[in-house]
Amino acid sequence: MATITSNLQQQRARIAAATQAAGRPVESVTLLVVSKTFPADAVREAIAAGARRFGENYVQEGLEKIAALADHRAQIEWHLIGPLQSNKTRLVAENFDWVHSVDRLKTAQRLSEQRPPELPPLNICLQVNTSGEASKSGVAPADLPALAAAVAQLPRLRLRGLMGVPEPTADFETQRHAHRQLAELQHALQQAAPGPHLALDTLSMGMSADLEAAIAEGATMVRVGSAIFGARRYAA
């Protein structure tokens, strides 16, 4: 029977093979273990197997795990990868290390104002809606340059890069095209405003079903959950 430890090894091997195929060093891609809906005990097993970065979609669920795993807090990073409501920005600013889902300046401003001064700057990725789906979160590509420029100026935040959640598809070339759009947007930002403010180093894209395509197009962080923990069980 597969275990979290063996599943983690398999996903690391996938990443290594994908980076080799893309002609990239394996250390250029970070594995973000998506622990949403899985209990703290499962996260603890992943930590024992060497995982150090965990992604949560829901603020309250993430806070409960952060508290339950407080003995490991210095070793690990907590990333919020789901939508962030403005009434929960303080909780996130005080407890998380990264937020991948910023798509409005107001949200970023609140995170900046509420980040405790004794903590390092909060790492930020801007979520981009490259597919134009009305139901999906994310800033429109046309509005991205202005948002990036504004967020980069905020104190207590560090703008690291972009995050995308493309429409699911089983076709490899279609997957690559979606990820290429995000990579090109990041490259355009860097070219338009070179310098310390937009020294972006993170492309958060690719999940269990499409990480090879994402790595081929330059992903630096892939978000994998079900392939490590197993099928998710959502409350009815």
**Does residue 235 form part of some domain?**
no
**Does residue 146 form part of some domain?**
yes
pLDDT for 231 equals 78
The number of distinct structural domains making up the chain is: 1
pLDDT for 118 equals 97
Q: Is 197 helix (H, G, I), strand (E, B) or coil?
A: helix
In angstroms, rounded to a whole number, what is the distance separating the alpha carbons of residues 85 and 192?
30
**Does residue 112 form part of some domain?**
yes
Q: Is 158 helix (H, G, I), strand (E, B) or coil?
A: strand
- Look up the CATH number of the domain holding residue 141: 3.20.20.10
User: Residue 199's pLDDT band (boundaries 50, 70, 90)?
Assistant: confident
Residue 235 has pLDDT above 70, yes or no: no
DSSP state, residue 139: B
**Does residue 226 form part of some domain?**
no
* Structural domain of 11: 4-22+30-220
**Does residue 231 form part of some domain?**
no
Which candidate, 226, 216, 157, places its Cα nearest to that of 182? 216
What is the pTM for the complete model shown?
A: 0.94
